[in-house]
């Protein structure tokens, strides 16, 4: 079935309508289609750029995380070195204290020996004086 072109419509057998546009409307429709095509291209470019930016942000975040982990590792290493240095200083102080105690013990031992020798001499002198011998 076909209608006349006076109302601007043509009817096809499968019931789809096709409008015949006037020339001014056709130019506007072509402009709209061209703008829509440019818009679609711009959206595609925007999608590519946003994907690239998203990838770059992911790379920056991964690099920042790696640097954060390195900083944490260095911080823990410095803290461990500080603890190790404090432990070494404490051990060295204990060694010095032990050496001082050994020195004091040796002094007491020497004094005890000297005291014993003095006592021995005094006893010998007293025996000699009492019994008159050698």
Cα separation, 117 vs 109, whole angstroms: 12
**Would 9 be classed as within a structural domain?**
no
pLDDT of residue 116: 94
Q: How many domains does the chain have?
A: 1
pLDDT of residue 21: 55
Strand, coil or helix: 19: strand
**Would 4 be classed as within a structural domain?**
no
**Beta bridge pairs of residue 9:** 19
Cα separation, 80 vs 83, whole angstroms: 5
Question: In terms of C-beta density within 10 A (0-12 exposed, 13-18 middle, 19 or more buried), how is residue 10 classed?
Answer: middle
**Would 7 be classed as within a structural domain?**
no
pLDDT of residue 26: 75
Kindly list the averaged pLDDT for each block of 10 residues, start to end, along the chain of length 134: 43 52 75 93 95 96 96 96 95 95 95 94 89 70
The parent domain of residue 67 ranges over: 24-131
**Would 15 be classed as within a structural domain?**
no
Rg of the chain (C-alpha set): 54
Task: Return the structure tokens found at 24.
Answer: 């001014």
For tokens 């006037």, name the residue.
22
Cα separation, 30 vs 68, whole angstroms: 56
**Would 13 be classed as within a structural domain?**
no
Cα separation, 78 vs 72, whole angstroms: 10
**Would 42 be classed as within a structural domain?**
yes
pLDDT of residue 82: 95
**Would 47 be classed as within a structural domain?**
yes
**Would 51 be classed as within a structural domain?**
yes
């Amino acid at each position: 079935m076909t209608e006349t072109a006076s109302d601007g419509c043509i009817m096809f057998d499968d019931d789809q309508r096709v409008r015949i546009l006037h020339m001014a409307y056709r130019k506007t429709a072509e402009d709209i289609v061209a703008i829509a095509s440019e818009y679609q291209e711009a959206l595609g470019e925007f999608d590519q750029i946003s994907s690239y930016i998203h990838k770059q942000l992911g790379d920056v975040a991964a690099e920042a995380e790696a640097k954060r982990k390195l900083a944490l590792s260095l911080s823990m290493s410095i803290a461990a070195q500080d603890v190790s240095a404090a432990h070494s200083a404490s051990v060295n102080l204990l060694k010095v204290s032990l050496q001082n105690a050994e020195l004091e013990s040796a002094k007491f031992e020497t004094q005890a020996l000297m005291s014993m020798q003095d006592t021995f001499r005094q006893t010998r002198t007293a025996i000699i004086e009492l019994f008159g011998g050698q």
